Amino acid sequence: MNAGSIPILSIMLAVPMLAAIACLFARAEMARIVALTATLFNLALGLWLWVSYDPAGQQWQFTESASLFGPIGWKLGIDGISLTLIMLSVFLMPICIGASWRSITTRVGEYMAAFLLMETLMIGVFAAQDLMLFYIFFEAGLIPMYLIIGIWGGAERIYASYKFFLYTLLGSVVMLIAMLWMIQFAGTADIPILLNTDFPVDAQKWLWLAFFASFAVKMPMWPVHTWLPDAHVQAPTAGSVILAGVLLKMGGYGFLRFSLPMFPEASANFIPLVFGLSMVAVVYTSLVALVQNDMKKLIAYSSVAHMAIVTVGLFTFNQQGIEGAIIVMLSHGLVSGALFLCVGVIYDRLHTREINRYGGLSINMPKYALLFMLFTMASVGLPGTSGFVGEFLSLAGAYKVSTWATLITTTGIILGAGYMLYLYRRIAFGAQVNADAAAMPDMDSREMWLLAPIAVAVIWMGVYPETFLAPIRRDVATIVARVERAAPAGDSKLKPNDPTTAKYRVGGHAQEKAAEGSQH
Amino acid sequence: MDLNASLYLVRPEAILSFSALALLLVAAWRSEAGRLVSILAVAALVGAGAYVVHFLCADTNALAFDGLFGNDAFGNFSKILIYVAAAISLMIAPRFLEQAGAMRAEYPVLILLAVTGMGIMVSATDLITLYIGLELNSLAAYVLASFVRSDGRSAEAGLKYFVLGALASGILLFGMSLLYGFTGSTSFAAIGTALDGEISLGMIFGIVFVLSGLAFKISAAPFHMWTPDVYEGAPTPVTAFFASAPKVAASALTIRVVIEAFGNEPMVWQQIIIVIALMSIIIGAVGAIGQQNLKRLMAYSSINNVGFILIGLAAGTEAGVAAMLVYLAIYVAMTLGGFICLMQLQDKEGGYRETFADIAGLSKTRPALAAAFAIFMFSLAGIPPLFGFWGKLVVFNAAVAAGLLPLAVIGIAASVIGAFYYLKVVKVMYFDEPADVIAAGNDKVLAWTGGILAAVNSPLGYFTIPVLGVVTAQAAKALF
């Protein structure tokens, strides 16, 4: 049966929604099972969606349209970019449920319901094709996340939950006004039509800034990133995974879906702003990460640094940079999620996130040390892991636009190696100074089941990224073609027709072969 | 136009006033029959409502009594909201008032009289009719505010409301007399014609005074000072009534006066409305932050919401008026729901609690009540996917369409301040340790009405958008 003939996206939205309602009325054990079943079922649907997706077919596939809500159209549909992010969401969800299996003991039904609701909203954000529908899904995520942080979070959870909610809300409401203006101007809220609407250049600047206010907070970009460390540190493990894994990607998705193709001139105009903030973010947050004593805070700051590479990649206006940015988003979703799970594993045992309370874990927890190292390396961007592919591509794309920005953001990789390896050394190596940490048992099979799939995905993406690049290539090309009229000149003096460098360029091998062929 | 035709057009008001008089006789002989009279009063509202629905379906648009009273879709839509709000206020009250020892048969009668006044207000097409309707409503409301005589706070609320309300009526009347003097007529249509062209200082004064008086009635800043005190002091079911039905009536009245009488001179009133709207949003939001009493909080919330409603009026367009009506409809559901939740906060001795400290950890002891309350709070804050978002969206959409971008941006940014205190309610209920003062609920009426209103405010409410959109557009069209 073909996925195109049934409303698969609506089903993917409905399954977690209904399961969430069921969880509210179920007892703890039942709620866990319902939540896991629903998320696994959605993962299966997601895989089916992936298999059925035709990278060479229509730009928008699995489209659905119904006018249930008057002016708000129930319009769904995905392109390759949405597909990969939906896959990321449905892949991480069962892992989140599994991660909360034992550590959450109070109000389990409500907890599971909040997570399932989150899943519906995340899929909705990536699948919405109506501007208002997108906004509703985008904004609605605040409520379950507020509750997750506030009810099941750490000691400072109330401050963190307020900060998270109000920061992101303030960013988003201005975007709403911009959206209303766009709908008035274009006469439609249909995203595929808006993508090809040319807004006046004067208006674009304001619209771009309004959208930037929202996405920069969500992303988060320096200096509006301060909600993130608080929210991450206080959220329960699974909450951090979802926050880092998927919610931050909404900012990048927003830039990609709205800011770039809808306001190309304004985007080009604001490149210095984006690059400037990203450069500061990379260096500043990496240095801040270096001095953290709290594991979660360290990873949270590293997220900000990685997201800065995403913003640099997105605003390169070329294929490599944008593809790289998407791969960094996917990779960071997996890796930071896995790192938070790794923190969760030892937090569940010792109930502290303080780095100094651990040490020498490679002796008593070898399996843990191995996986933790893999994810550390992936975060650093070691070749062979997903981090390398994305960072290399986006920085290669950035080089075409601004060598200075590339130079500074590349230091992020060096600094990243600094703080991540330092973290790893303090936790896994050295003497076992703390008796209680030395007595911790290694990971059980449940924890292995949580981390192993992510490890496989990270290595897969690092060794054969084509699987993930194939679905997005054509859609990135569409965006690049759309923004081409405003593309910046770039300060690196490329010599496109220089035969001595031909083999180093993308597609160079083919040219080389063609050249060889003609010589024979 | 002959008298019969006029009487036909005012049938809803006739039914209500005759029912009120008949029920007053019942009350005179059997004062303890409060519940029976309440049921009969709801029946009268249903009967009057049937006529209103009939008029609305037939899209009646006619003037009665030589242009003193207009029966049009705008008034009829407002009346439906008013009747629904009044009926809910009647249904939820008996238990509360019995507890306070004040469930007398006069309560439903006064509500019916107030509703009659409101029906006249929203249909008024002449300053005199307007004033009669307004005073009929206000006088009933003053008595209702002090309905629990034995409670000092209730008596104080009634007195405060009376004194300040009389002042506002005086201001309004003064403005009306200026308008009459300078335009030569009390009819909205004639005033509208006279205001087209050269505007004299007297006319401007008249407009300003009339708008000030009306701003008092809808409790818009800077004429909002009475609201927190009256809302706190009045018995909770009465507060629920004040926050819903009269708000709709006064807002609709303001819309009609502004559009029909001053519509030709937007330069004069638009800036006033913009200032009032923004002040209400900001004062309503900031004032609520420090409140410990939930009823006072709801009072500031109502000030805040009036600000958003007025943004639609500032746009001054047909879409703006339709948006205001949508907002009012959703607002009635939100605010009534909020007060119904407050009314269920009874401690183990049966006393009513109304502070933040009492609802701490409510989600553990009364999960359904806490969930419903949280829905109303998020909805009032305008967070999607709750239905309150749709109300905000349409008014801001109208403002953007009318080119009032700075107003829209400031207004929506200020709504984030408001979100803070709505979140505080959720925080206290969900994040804090249980205070364990609230007893298990046993009032089925409150549970059911609260549940239904929560469902309306949940994303299910979006299914009503198509119907709501058509009806409000029809209502707004009647004014232009």
Task: Tell me the C-alpha distance between B480 and B477, whole Å.
Answer: 5
Q: What is the pLDDT of residue A234?
A: 87
Q: List the single best residue of A125, A137, A176, A217 to mutate versus B (max B Cβ within 10 A).
A: A176
Backbone angles phi, psi at B293, to 5 degrees: -90, 130
Distance in Å, alpha carbon of A213 to nearest chain B alpha carbon: 12
Q: Is A164 an interface residue toward B (CB < 8 Å)?
A: no
Distance in Å, alpha carbon of A330 to nearest chain B alpha carbon: 27
Helix axes of A80-99 and A319-350: crossing angle, nearest 10 degrees: 0
Nearest-Cα residue of chain B relative to residue A17 = B459
CB B112 within 8 A of CB B20: yes
Q: Is A170 an interface residue toward B (CB < 8 Å)?
A: yes
Cβ within 8 Å, pair A170-B393:
no
Q: Residue B162 CA to chain centroid, in angstroms? A: 18
Burial environment of residue A54 by CB neighbours within 10 A (0 to 12, 13 to 18, 19 or more) = exposed
Distance in Å, alpha carbon of B468 to nearest chain A alpha carbon: 9
**CA atoms A182, A188, A194, A200: torsion sign:** negative
CB B169 within 8 A of CB B134: yes
Residue B209, pLDDT above cutoff 90? yes
Q: How many CB atoms lie within 10 A of CB A210?
A: 23
Task: Tell me the C-alpha distance between B25 and B38, whole Å.
Answer: 14
Cβ within 8 Å, pair B405-A177:
yes
Task: Tell me the C-alpha distance between B415 and B389, whole Å.
Answer: 11
Q: What is the pLDDT of residue B418?
A: 87
A-chain CB neighbours of B430 within 8 Å are 147, 150-151
Q: Residue A140 CA to chain centroid, in angstroms? A: 18
CB B217 within 8 A of CB B224: no
What pLDDT, in 10s, does the model give residues B405-426?
889 999 998 888 888 889 999 9
* Of the partner residues A69, A140, A157, the one whose CB lies closest to the CB of residue B465: A69
Task: Tell me the C-alpha distance between A212 and A205, whole Å.
Answer: 10
DSSP letter at B441?
P
For chain B, how long is the longest CA-to-CA vector?
68
Task: Tell me the C-alpha distance between B156 and B159, whole Å.
Answer: 5
Task: Tell me the C-alpha distance between B36 and B479, whole Å.
Answer: 39
Q: Which two tokens stand for residue B466?
A: 């198509």
* Of the partner residues B393, B401, B416, the one whose CB lies closest to the CB of residue A166: B416
Q: Which two tokens stand for residue B6?
A: 């006029």
Residue with tokens 């129930």: A74
Task: Tell me the C-alpha distance between A174 and A163, whole Å.
Answer: 18
Q: Which two tokens stand for residue B115?
A: 């509703």
Task: Tell me the C-alpha distance between B360 and B343, whole Å.
Answer: 16
Task: Tell me the C-alpha distance between A243 and A237, whole Å.
Answer: 10
What pLDDT, in 10s, does the model give residues B351-362?
888 888 888 888
Q: Is A94 an interface residue toward B (CB < 8 Å)?
A: no
Task: Tell me the C-alpha distance between B78 and B55, whole Å.
Answer: 12
Task: Tell me the C-alpha distance between A457 and A450, whole Å.
Answer: 12
Q: What is the pLDDT of residue A1?
A: 41
Length of chain B: 480
Cβ within 8 Å, pair B419-A147:
no
Task: Tell me the C-alpha distance between A288 and A131, whole Å.
Answer: 37
Instruction: For residue A354, list its beta bridge partners.
Output: A294
A-chain CB neighbours of B405 within 8 Å are 177, 181
3-state secondary structure B245-282: HHHHHHHHHHHHHHHHHCCCCHHHHHHHHHHHHHHHHH
A-chain CB neighbours of B378 within 8 Å are 143
pLDDT less than 70: residues of chain A:
1-4, 492-496, 501-520
Q: How many CB atoms lie within 10 A of CB A440?
A: 18
Q: Is A66 an interface residue toward B (CB < 8 Å)?
A: no
Q: Which two tokens stand for residue B462?
A: 């979006």
CB A450 within 8 A of CB A342: no
Task: Tell me the C-alpha distance between A329 and A219, whole Å.
Answer: 10
Of the pLDDT bands very low, low, confident and very high (cuts 50, 70, 90), residue B274 is very high
**Beta A61-69 vs A72-78: how paired, if at all?**
antiparallel
What pLDDT, in 10s, does the model give residues B370-399?
999 999 999 999 888 899 999 999 999 999
DSSP letter at B147?
-
Q: Which residues of B touch A (CB under 8 A)?
A: 364, 378, 383-385, 389, 393, 396-397, 400-401, 405, 408-409, 412-413, 415-416, 419-420, 423, 426-427, 430-431, 462-463, 465-466, 468-469
What pLDDT, in 10s, does the model give residues B224-255?
889 999 999 999 999 999 999 999 999 999 99
Cα first-last separation, chain B: 23
Of residues A371, A356, A236, the one with CA closest to residue A294: A356
Task: Tell me the C-alpha distance between B282 and A266, whole Å.
Answer: 32
Burial environment of residue B463 by CB neighbours within 10 A (0 to 12, 13 to 18, 19 or more) = middle
DSSP 3-state helix, strand, coil percentages of chain B (rounded to 5)? 80, 5, 20
**Beta B62-64 vs B69-71: how paired, if at all?**
antiparallel
CB B464 within 8 A of CB A71: no
Burial environment of residue A129 by CB neighbours within 10 A (0 to 12, 13 to 18, 19 or more) = buried
Cα dihedral A150, A302, A39, A113 in deg (nearest 10): 10
What pLDDT, in 10s, does the model give residues B275-330?
999 999 999 999 988 889 999 999 999 999 999 999 999 988 899 999 999 999 99
CB A109 within 8 A of CB A31: yes
Length of chain A: 520
Distance in Å, alpha carbon of A487 to nearest chain B alpha carbon: 30
Q: What Rg, from alpha-carbon coordinates, does chain A have?
A: 22
Of the pLDDT bands very low, low, confident and very high (cuts 50, 70, 90), residue B257 is very high
Angle at B273 between CA B268 and CA B274, to 5 degrees: 105
Cα first-last separation, chain A: 49
Backbone angles phi, psi at A62, to 5 degrees: 55, 35
SS3 A296: helix
A401: left (phi over 0), alpha (psi -120 to 50) or beta: alpha
SS3 A332: helix
Q: What Rg, from alpha-carbon coordinates, does chain B have?
A: 21
Instruction: For residue A75, list its beta bridge partners.
Output: A65
Reported ipTM: 0.90
pTM for the model stands at 0.91
Q: How many CB atoms lie within 10 A of CB B2?
A: 7
Of residues A170, A147, A308, A121, the one with CA closest to residue A234: A147
Q: Which long-range contacts (CB under 8 A, 24 or more apart) does B163-170 make?
A: B164/B216, B164/B225, B164/B226, B165/B138, B165/B141, B165/B216, B165/B226, B167/B216, B168/B212, B168/B213, B168/B216, B168/B217, B168/B223, B169/B131, B169/B134, B169/B135, B169/B138, B169/B213
Nearest-Cα residue of chain B relative to residue A206 = B405
Task: Tell me the C-alpha distance between B423 and B180, whole Å.
Answer: 47
Q: List the single best residue of A165, A167, A168, A188 to mutate versus B (max B Cβ within 10 A).
A: A165
SS3 A427: helix
Task: Tell me the C-alpha distance between A80 and A74, whole Å.
Answer: 20
Q: Which residues contact A101 (CB under 8 A, 6 or more apart)?
A: A32, A446
